[in-house]
């Protein structure tokens, strides 16, 4: 019996030893730190911008209407053509007005003859009166006849001026240089005067220069006024053009903002409905690539240029409203660094107002694999993929900072 117990004990010990040896042989190696892509922030001079949407509008917008009625005899332009100031556009039948002018001129000539006759009679009666041949009443009547004839002559002279104007009005010319619309009447139709839709002949808009209207949000307006007060400058909206604030414009099919102008006007009150203030930029448009009514993107600087630390947008994480970046420090351990952000840039980078010095190594790819206070395997971002400096202002958060 004793020998049996000894045999079982030895067998159990051998199995335990074999089991321990097998576990040691199959032990897994320690996991390697996760791989992340790192890069250093860039430091460069940037300018903060705000971006809005706007519409182009003509500096001069004219509705062409006739000042005299008559039958339309000639249309002297093609629909949509560019015209110069003074070009003949419409010709109304001028013959009735020429006849009226001729009649008025003839009436002037008739009264000139009457005046000459009355003046001659006045001279004759003055001589007769000196010799007491005629009574004083006859002399006074001659004087009155001269005065009446001169008044009648002045009256018909005014008729001549009016007939001359009416004749000139039969030629409807371009009051400004610009682009004309389509004619709303055809030759042979009766042209009427007045403000009714039937009296409208066509429209004419100027194209160079051109306006762009856009609405400034209330917060940007308040920030601007605060900066004006801090600099001790006069807050005079009426002199906004003198400030020479640059405005950049981009069309829907254009990259960036290739068109440049200046802020020319801001409205005198904020809309209680939208909380915005209408502003207007003035742009040169020599090639007339901008036409009236186009949708535009508008970019306006909101401060002076300054040195800023920039990080890629992909390097920024959010934790319950807190913005942070992951910094790889000594022994490749990760540190979560809270940052205050400025405006987004067009190249996908973001201004960091505080939280970084600019010489740190930050995680730009692989934020979900990295954990604070744990090591990582950092790899530098390839040069071809590194962030390049670019002009600021992004459309989605241009009016606020985080």
Q: CA of 324: how far to CAs of 99, 369, 401, in Å?
A: 87, 15, 15
- Can you give the pTM of this predicted structure? 0.70
Q: How confident is the model at residue 329 (pLDDT cuts 50, 70, 90)?
A: confident
> Whole-angstrom Cα distance, residue 306 to residue 303?
9
State the pLDDT at residue 209.
93
Give the Cβ contact number of residue 247 at 10 Å.
24
Q: Does 392 have pLDDT greater than 80?
A: no
Q: Is the CATH code 3.40.50.450 the one for domain 35-48+305-385? A: no
Q: Strand 377-380 and strand 35-39: pairing?
A: parallel
Q: CATH number of 51-58+208-301: 2.60.120.10, 2.40.30.170, 3.30.930.10, 1.20.59.10?
A: 2.40.30.170
pLDDT over 90 for what percent of the chain? 42
State the pLDDT at residue 125.
86
Query: What are the structure tokens assigned to 372, written together?
Result: 């604070």
Query: What are the structure tokens assigned to 69, written together?
Result: 């009625």
Q: Does 284 have pLDDT greater than 70?
A: yes
Q: Are 195 and 112 in contact (CB under 8 A)?
A: no
State the pLDDT at residue 381.
77
Could you tell me the residue ranges of all domains in the chain?
A: 35-48+305-385, 51-58+208-301, 61-93+179-205, 95-169
Question: How does pLDDT run across 86-103, given as a tens digit for each residue?
Answer: 999 999 999 999 999 999
- What is the pLDDT averaged over residues 293-312? 88
Q: Does 275 have pLDDT greater than 50?
A: yes
Q: Please, what CATH class does the domain formed by 61-93+179-205 belong to?
A: mainly beta
Residue 47, classed as helix, strand or coil, is coil
- What is the pLDDT averaged over residues 298-319? 87
On average, the pLDDT of the chain sits at 84
DSSP 314: G
CATH fold of the domain at 95-169: Helix Hairpins (1.10.287)
Question: How does pLDDT run across 201-225, given as a tens digit for each residue?
Answer: 999 999 999 999 999 988 888 877 7
State the pLDDT at residue 101.
95
State the pLDDT at residue 237.
57
Greatest extent of the chain over all pairs of C-alpha atoms, in Å:
192
> Whole-angstrom Cα distance, residue 91 to residue 172?
6
């Amino acid at each position: 019996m004793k020998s049996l117990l000894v045999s079982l004990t030895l067998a159990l010990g051998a199995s335990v030893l074999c089991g321990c040896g097998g576990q040691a042989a199959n032990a897994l190696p320690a996991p390697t730190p996760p791989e992340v892509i790192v890069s250093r922030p860039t430091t460069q001079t940037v300018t903060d911008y705000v971006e809005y949407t706007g519409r182009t509008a003509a500096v001069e917008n004219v509705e062409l209407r006739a000042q005299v009625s008559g039958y339309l005899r000639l249309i002297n332009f093609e629909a949509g053509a560019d015209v110069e100031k003074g070009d003949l556009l419409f010709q109304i039948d001028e013959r009735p007005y020429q006849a009226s002018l001729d009649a008025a001129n003839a009436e002037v000539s008739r009264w000139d003859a009457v005046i000459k006759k009355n003046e001659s009679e006045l001279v004759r009666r003055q001589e007769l009166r000196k010799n007491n041949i005629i009574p004083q009443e006859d002399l006074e009547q001659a004087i009155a006849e001269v005065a009446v004839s001169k008044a009648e002559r002045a009256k018909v002279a005014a008729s001549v001026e009016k007939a001359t104007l009416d004749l000139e009005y039969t030629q409807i010319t371009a009051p400004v240089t610009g682009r004309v619309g389509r004619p709303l009447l055809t030759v042979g139709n009766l042209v009427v005067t007045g403000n009714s839709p039937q009296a409208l002949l066509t429209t004419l808009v100027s194209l160079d220069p051109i306006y762009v209207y856009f609405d400034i949000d209330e917060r940007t307006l308040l920030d601007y006024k605060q900066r004006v007060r801090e600099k001790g400058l006069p807050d005079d909206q009426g002199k906004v053009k003198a400030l020479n604030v640059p405005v950049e414009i981009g069309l829907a099919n254009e990259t960036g903002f290739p068109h440049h102008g200046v802020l020319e006007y801001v409205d005198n009150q904020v809309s209680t409905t939208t909380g915005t203030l209408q502003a207007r930029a003035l742009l040169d448009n020599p090639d007339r690539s901008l036409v009236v009514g186009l949708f535009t993107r508008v970019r306006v600087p909101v401060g002076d240029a300054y040195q800023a630390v920039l990080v890629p947008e992909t390097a920024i994480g959010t934790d319950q409203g807190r913005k942070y970046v992951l910094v790889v420090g000594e022994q490749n351990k990760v540190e979560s660094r809270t940052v205050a952000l400025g405006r987004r840039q067009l190249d996908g980078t973001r201004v960091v107002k505080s939280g970084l010095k600019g010489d740190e190594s930050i995680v730009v790819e692989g934020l979900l694999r990295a954990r604070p206070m744990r090591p990582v395997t950092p790899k530098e971002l390839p040069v071809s993929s590194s962030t390049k400096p670019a002009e600021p202002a992004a459309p989605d958060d241009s009016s606020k900072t985080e």
